[in-house]
Amino acid sequence: MPGTRPTPTEKSPLLKKGKHGLLRLVFSRMGLVVLLLLLQVGGLFALYNRFQAYFPQFYSVFTMLSAVMVVYLLNVDTDPDAKITWLVLVMLLPAAGVLLYLYVHTDLGHRALRDRMRQIRQLSASALPENEDFSVFSQDCPEEAGLAHYLRTAAQAPVYQGCPAQYFSSGEDFFPAFLTDLRNAKRFIFLEYFIIEQGEMWSAVEKILAEKTREGVEVRVLYDGTCEFFKLPRSFPEHLQSLGIQCRIFSRIKPFVSTHYNYRDHRKIAVIDGKAGYTGGLNLADEYINRTHPFGHWKDTALRLEGAAVGSFTLMFLQMWQVEDWELSFAPYLTHLAIPTPPPQTGQGYVIPYGDCPLDDQPVGEWVYTHILSAAQSYVHIMTPYLILGHEMENALKFAAQRGVEVTLILPHIPDKKIAFALAKSHYPALMACGVKIYEYIPGFIHAKSFVSDGIRATVGTINLDYRSLRHHFECGTYLCGAPCVADIEADFQATLKKCQQVAPEQAAHPGFYYRMLGLLMKVLAPLL
């Protein structure tokens, strides 16, 4: 009954407690998980000590096995950057390297998740309409037709014509529009975010969600399991359910060593009634709207879609919701796509919302970025928080610059992760030697993930220029061609550039002893970070 649920601002004692302090850490769920993991590692060392007398024999066997593994790795069809990392580990640490490789590539949790995602994709294969706008798109944008075909076949991502797209250049601009759409919801609200954290931003969202459930609106919230580990109490789903909000956690972190935890849900998706959809870099926490400033000013972006294209984000959400339990039919949330609609709005160009799954051997996000670099004739302007590149992406950036395209990157000046910052700096000299221009955002931290090229094409989404985002995370984005907001994305890049400082060649060559050594040491392990 209305009035019996706690209001969003009346947090339980567990929600009111801080997340800091040594004792609280030790006795928290995180402390328990770490303790159990250490016990598992201790058990392995105990086995080693028990059979230490046989170490020479074991070492000989593993040395021979590592030689076989080197030959295997040189011939296996896998990512070359990961291959180099495994070769180094296997040669330096024959026993540990071989065992670690066998463990990672035979992990049952990974296989179970992969099989589940394949099943969900098969069951939802016909959930979206056929690519009716593809033929017109191919005529209007022939240089983009190949990418559109790939996205449809590899990522269930159709082309949509005439769907309005609105670009937000900051979290502060995004937030009022987002709240307005939530207040106007009539049927359902789906939220899927990598990070949700208690604070002013989430309190405002939660209050509206609770009001909507009392009005009969269906509200579902999905967030990544790392939130529970670092940001939210374990009781948070029960707290939301007490407000009438359905909640699920993707891949809860449990006290068992497993490569299953390597695959995180890094997406940011909001769908309201299937009519409005959001994506971009923004999570639901206060730094994203600059209510807090952990790393200076937080620069982020978002994109709002309307029309039939929102169906793609609806499907992405429903697919991730079904990972734990097959519960929903896709059809009730996508029925509006089968109903004849008014003609597409003229002058809106084309949009392709797409998802990237790390379990299907299709590096969708990386190939979208590579396509933009290869198709560019005049310029490619990039904002990204991280720069941890594989050889293919680094070569794509360098080749675009060497063939006369202006390639400019904006990265943070104030890092949120020292290792990631050091790895980014390790790429500066090689890129700049080929003509790539690199700027750092002096006021603080860049969290936006956007490419814009030639005033024609752009993409905005959740995909960073780092190995983990390109290979190990569930991600999403929107590809835009001929849409009016492409000009807004370029205008925002130019406005942001005025707040940046260009990295000089001498700065790139001499980043400081700490960052230089850290970058050199960690570069070989970058694919595993």
Radius of gyration of the chain (CA): 24
> Any idea how long the chain is?
529
Name the residue with higher pLDDT: 6 or 163. 163
Residue type, 142: P
Question: In terms of domains, do 378 and 426 share one?
Answer: yes
CA distance 495 to 329: 45
Confidence of residue 479 (pLDDT cuts 50, 70, 90): very high
Residue type, 462: T
Q: What is the pTM of this model?
A: 0.86
CATH (domain of 200): 3.30.870.10
| pLDDT average, residue stretch 325-333 | 81
Question: In terms of domains, do 184 and 317 share one?
Answer: yes
Question: In terms of domains, do 475 and 381 share one?
Answer: yes
Q: Helix or strand or coil: residue 472? A: coil
- State the Cα torsion 516-518-519-522 to the nearest 10°: 160
Choose one of 346, 375, 392: the last residue of a domain. 346
Question: In terms of domains, do 292 and 383 share one?
Answer: no
**Ranges assigned E (strand) in 300-443:** 302-306, 350-356, 379-383, 387-388, 406-412, 437-441
CA distance 81 to 58: 29
Question: In terms of domains, do 270 and 368 share one?
Answer: no
| pLDDT average, residue stretch 54-79 | 77
Q: How big is the CA angle at 329 (ends 157 and 161), to the nearest 5 degrees?
A: 30
Is pLDDT at 504 greater than 50 in this prediction?
Answer: yes
The reply to whether 117 falls in a domain is no
Ramachandran angles phi, psi of 405, nearest 5°: -80, 135
What does each C-alpha distance from 283 to 109, 175, 305 come to in angstroms? 27, 11, 17
Residue type, 458: A
The reply to whether 3 falls in a domain is no
Question: In terms of domains, do 189 and 331 share one?
Answer: yes
Question: In terms of domains, do 376 and 444 share one?
Answer: yes
What does each C-alpha distance from 134 to 129, 130, 478, 502 come to in angstroms? 12, 9, 16, 40
Among 51, 109, 101, CA closest to 73 = 101
pLDDT tens, 104-143? Answer: 676 666 778 888 899 999 888 888 877 778 888 999 999 9
Tokens 């987002």 locate to 178
Choose one of 289, 316, 346: the last residue of a domain. 346
- State the Cα torsion 360-364-370-376 to the nearest 10°: 150
Question: In terms of domains, do 309 and 369 share one?
Answer: no
Per mean pLDDT, which range of 304-313, 342-351, 398-407 is the poorest? Answer: 342-351
Per mean pLDDT, which range of 61-70, 218-227, 244-253, 440-449 is the poorest? Answer: 61-70
Is pLDDT at 414 greater than 60 in this prediction?
Answer: yes
The reply to whether 58 falls in a domain is no
> What is the residue-wise DSSP string for 236-299?
HHHHHHHTT-EEEEES---SS--GGGG-EE--EEEEETTTEEEEES--BSGGGGTSS-BTBEEE
pLDDT tens, 259-272? Answer: 556 789 999 999 99
Is pLDDT at 146 greater than 90 in this prediction?
Answer: yes
The reply to whether 108 falls in a domain is no
In which domain, by residue range, is 292 found? 160-346
CA atoms within 13 A on the CB side of 289: 20
Confidence of residue 239 (pLDDT cuts 50, 70, 90): very high
The reply to whether 359 falls in a domain is no
Ramachandran angles phi, psi of 349, nearest 5°: 70, -150
CA distance 124 to 163: 23
Question: In terms of domains, do 470 and 402 share one?
Answer: yes
Looking at residue 343, what is its pLDDT? 58
- What's the mean per-residue pLDDT of the chain? 86
Name the residue with higher pLDDT: 39 or 162. 162
Is pLDDT at 510 greater than 60 in this prediction?
Answer: yes
Choose one of 280, 312, 346: the last residue of a domain. 346
The reply to whether 38 falls in a domain is no
Q: How many domains does the chain have?
A: 2
| CA distance between the termini of the chain | 48
Is pLDDT at 502 greater than 70 in this prediction?
Answer: yes
Question: In terms of domains, do 332 and 373 share one?
Answer: no
CA distance 27 to 35: 10
Confidence of residue 79 (pLDDT cuts 50, 70, 90): confident
Question: In terms of domains, do 400 and 475 share one?
Answer: yes
Q: Helix or strand or coil: residue 267? A: coil
Question: In terms of domains, do 188 and 286 share one?
Answer: yes
Tokens 């309307």 locate to 306
